[in-house]
Structure 1
């Protein structure tokens, strides 16, 4: 005969008794439950009937404890038995109830012998469960390794992405500062131009006003003289006849000496057209003396980490230390290279590079698709057309390189690179003032190219600025400035 489970539950925790105790009022509780109730209420009362317990330490209810322990053991055995049945059920086929003994290699699932003879799996290759476990574990281990590699790769990308965010912020700060600095220099030029023009206007204003004041003073003196002559002549007209005749000769001579005709005042106004005529164009033309145009601008996002570029992106040198740039796909990673910003795909272009004391450089062009993350020779077959200076020798980087015999008294400190894309020629000249041809590449370019620079020297290579020419074209009643 078994008791209902409810009779074996503690009224406080509503679970099967653990170390039950019996109070004097015949109610039973878990020892810990009644202890907590007494600590909370501050009095030793039965949690059910509120009758005061006669003992500070209640007596253990041995019979109830043994019965509860028996129920707990029975529950654990029942649970273990259920688990065994479930496990055994999992080892049997759901369709036929037979024990699973084979593994279908086509459907990737365990099957029984009946399944193997059925239409579903009749012609499928199978293996034993032991072999399948080894194969599946191996495949899953390989997948796990692949996933781990992907996870490691993603962690690196995640870290690099955060570093790239910081780099972008630093790029923005540096670019913003350079923009402000260049505008400050332009503002200074404009302010100086404005001051000079206002000063010129002020000088002309003072000069014209001073001249007019002198003229006004001169006219005032003449007016005073005329007024005196007028009064004298009027008095003579009112004199006696004999007196008028006696004084006529002197009066006539006095009146003939007076200025006749209107006073002319030409050129007295400010020459406004001189100050305002084509003012914006004149200012812009004068600004050209303070503005430099560089035909090639270096792309810092392609520069090798050991290269240092100038703030205006017109010079580079090798530092030997990485400045912490991100590993972006556009960047050269294997050698100290950098390319220009604008791709060239037609027309004629040229730029002059000041090499100075640099004794280790390559200059020329490279195709836009040339690889940047592998070691590769700078040769035409790899998409590079370059002139090299190393070890005191000039070499055209053909296949194999062509050593150039250059008889020159003074060292070549400037190289002029001239590209005619449509004709397929790339020429190198001595840009030190002699304009002497050093070498010409002839090629049929199949894609756009970029100006290319390499150096392994701490002496900078600098792209020289060129002057800007302004020409006015006049056409049938209209003028166009280019």
Structure 2
């Protein structure tokens, strides 16, 4: 069987120091953050200094010199908020003895380090000087246990500060999830819009190229038709001019012949009777042989052209 006694070894000092610090934390009042002085226990099992719990449960408006008369109605425990009856406070003599021993033999450096660590530092209430361990949901600010018993917060919803922080973090996390989902939806919508816009612009560019090619082909066709029609018109103009010149030349010859015949008739008519009768038959026969001229028809020069050409000009 191993002997019971103090441990010795290289790590014994550090272990003893850690044990002393842990024991000092267990013997510290959660209200004043000091070693217990006249500790009392409430019905839920938590212990506090008698003066600290009395100050927390003190009614608003009561002076410091007023008699510490215990109220009859249950009041919340400053640590767990469970209802406790002030008349049922019980002295905790064992805890008082441990606190006294620690006060005699505790290491000042350890106690100072514990009090000055970020975890042990609590922001005090500006009005009461107590640590801000509660959170008023109606006012939206941290309060101390004394503020919780004040008239202005008596009907308010009050939570432990850690619980309020946890609820606020959970609420922010839920809102963050919703915002992330909305952000993903908007990103997807923007990607779809960009894709559809690019596809539409691509289709418009292809349609623009098709329209340009069609109009280019149409312009080439019109230029070809214009050249062909102008060439045909030029050819018809030459043919009309040639036919007109031929008709004019023929008409000139006929006019000359008719002028000569007219002059002969006039000369015959002026001769004496015997000569007139002798030449009358010859002159008359020459007028019958001449007949009508072979010139253009009354419809004009277009009627002298081939039917296809005449229809083209008269359209």
Pick the TM interval, shorter chain.
0.3 to 0.5
Alignment TM-score, normalising by the size of structure 1: 0.31
TM-score, length-scaled by structure 2: 0.45
Of structures 1 and 2, the larger Rg is shown by 2
Which structure shows the higher helix fraction?
Answer: 2
Larger strand share, 1 or 2: 1
